[in-house]
Amino acid sequence: MSKSEILQSALTLHQAGRVAEAETAYRNLLAQDPNDPDGNHYLGLIAHQFGNFNAAIELIEKALKVRPNYGEALINLGNAHRQAGNLQQAVHCFQRALALNPNSADGHANLGVVLRDQGKTDEAIRSFNSALQLKPDFLPAHYNLANALKSEGLNGEAIDQYQQCLKLQPRFIDAHINMGSVYESQGELGMAKTCYQNAVQLNDGSPEAHCNLAAVELVLGNHDAALNGAQRATNLNPQFAEGFRVLALVHKERGELDEALIHLHKAISIHPDFADAFNSLGLVLDQQEKVDQAIDTLKTAVSLDPEFAEAHGNLANLYKRTDQSEIAEHHYQTALDLKPGFADAHNNFGSLQKDLGDLAGALSSFENARNLKVGFADACNNLGHTHLLMGNFKEGWANYQWRWKLRSVAKYRRIFDQPQWEGHSFAGKTLFIHPEQGLGDFIQFVRYLPLIKPLGGDLVLEVPSTLTCLYPSLADVDTQLTTNDNPPPFDFHSPLLDVPFLLNTDIATIPPLAVRPHVDRALDRKWRARLAPYGGLRVGLIWAGNPDHKNDRRRSLAPEFLTPITQMAGLSVFSLQVGRSGEATAAFGASVIDLAADFTNFAETAAAMQNLDLIISVDSSPAHLAGALGKPVWTLLPFMPDWRWMMNRTDSPWYPTMTLFRQSRPGDWSTVISDVCRALEKTKKPKNVS
Residue 457, SS3 per DSSP: strand
Residue 682: closest CA among 638, 649, 635, 634:
634
Q: Are 587 and 563 in contact (CB under 8 A)?
A: yes
| 23 pLDDT tier (thresholds 50, 70, 90) | confident
**pLDDT at residue 525, rounded to an integer:** 97
pLDDT one-digit tens code per residue, 573-628: 999 999 887 899 999 999 999 999 999 999 999 999 999 999 999 999 999 999 99
Residue 681: closest CA among 537, 542, 499, 515:
537
> How many of the other CB atoms lie within 10 Å of CB of 454?
9
Q: Are 315 and 345 in contact (CB under 8 A)?
A: no
For the chain, list the domains and their CATH numbers: 171-272 (1.25.40.10), 426-509 (no CATH), 522-683 (3.40.50.2000)
pLDDT one-digit tens code per residue, 93-102: 999 999 999 9
**pLDDT at residue 664, rounded to an integer:** 94
**pLDDT at residue 690, rounded to an integer:** 42
> How many of the other CB atoms lie within 10 Å of CB of 172?
20
The structure's pTM equals 0.82
**Is pLDDT larger for residue 32 or for residue 281?**
281
Residue 299: closest CA among 334, 323, 258, 348:
334
Residue 205 Cα distances to 176, 244, 247, 249, 655, angstroms: 15, 16, 17, 22, 66
Distance CA 334, CA 313 (A): 8
Least confident of 293-297, 437-441, 655-659: 437-441
| 685 pLDDT tier (thresholds 50, 70, 90) | low
pLDDT one-digit tens code per residue, 306-344: 999 999 999 999 999 999 999 999 999 999 999 998 999
pLDDT one-digit tens code per residue, 544-573: 987 776 777 889 999 999 999 999 999 999
Residue 369 predicted with pLDDT over 60: yes
Distance CA 162, CA 142 (A): 7
Alpha-helix residue ranges (DSSP H) falling in 152-274:
155-168, 173-185, 189-202, 207-219, 223-236, 241-253, 257-270
Residue 255, SS3 per DSSP: coil
Distance CA 379, CA 364 (A): 11
Residue 286 predicted with pLDDT over 50: yes
**CA dihedral in degrees (337, 342, 347, 350; nearest 10)?**
10
Q: Are 263 and 245 in contact (CB under 8 A)?
A: yes
Q: How many CA atoms lie within 13 A of 506 on its CB side?
A: 4
| 5 pLDDT tier (thresholds 50, 70, 90) | confident
Least confident of 4-13, 45-54, 126-135, 212-221: 4-13
Residue 271, SS3 per DSSP: coil
Residue 276, SS3 per DSSP: helix
**pLDDT at residue 545, rounded to an integer:** 82
Residue 321: closest CA among 377, 358, 283, 378:
283
Distance CA 127, CA 274 (A): 32
Residue 616 Cα distances to 165, 556, 661, angstroms: 69, 12, 10
Q: Compute the Cα dihedral for 547, 553, 558, 561 and give only its sign.
A: negative
Q: Are 146 and 165 in contact (CB under 8 A)?
A: yes
> How many of the other CB atoms lie within 10 Å of CB of 273?
10
Distance CA 269, CA 263 (A): 10
Residue 71: closest CA among 40, 43, 97:
97
Using N-to-C axis directions, what is the helix angle for 37-49 and 19-32, rounded to 10°? 150
**pLDDT at residue 495, rounded to an integer:** 96
The rounded mean pLDDT for the chain is: 93
Distance CA 379, CA 384 (A): 9
pLDDT one-digit tens code per residue, 246-268: 999 999 999 999 999 999 999 99
pLDDT one-digit tens code per residue, 635-664: 999 999 999 999 999 999 999 999 999 999
Cα 53-134-173 angle, rounded to 5 deg: 60
Residue 657, SS3 per DSSP: coil
Strand partners, 462: 481
Distance CA 74, CA 92 (A): 9
pLDDT one-digit tens code per residue, 25-83: 888 888 888 998 888 899 898 989 888 899 989 989 998 898 999 888 999 999 899 88
Q: Which residues contact 568 (CB under 8 A, 6 or more apart)?
A: 677, 680, 681, 684
Distance CA 375, CA 384 (A): 14
**pLDDT at residue 686, rounded to an integer:** 53
Q: Is 31 exposed, middle or buried (0-12, 13-18, 19+ CB in 10 A)?
A: exposed
Q: Which residues contact 290 (CB under 8 A, 6 or more apart)?
A: none
Residue 411 predicted with pLDDT over 90: no
**pLDDT at residue 407, rounded to an integer:** 80
**pLDDT at residue 689, rounded to an integer:** 42
**pLDDT at residue 187, rounded to an integer:** 80
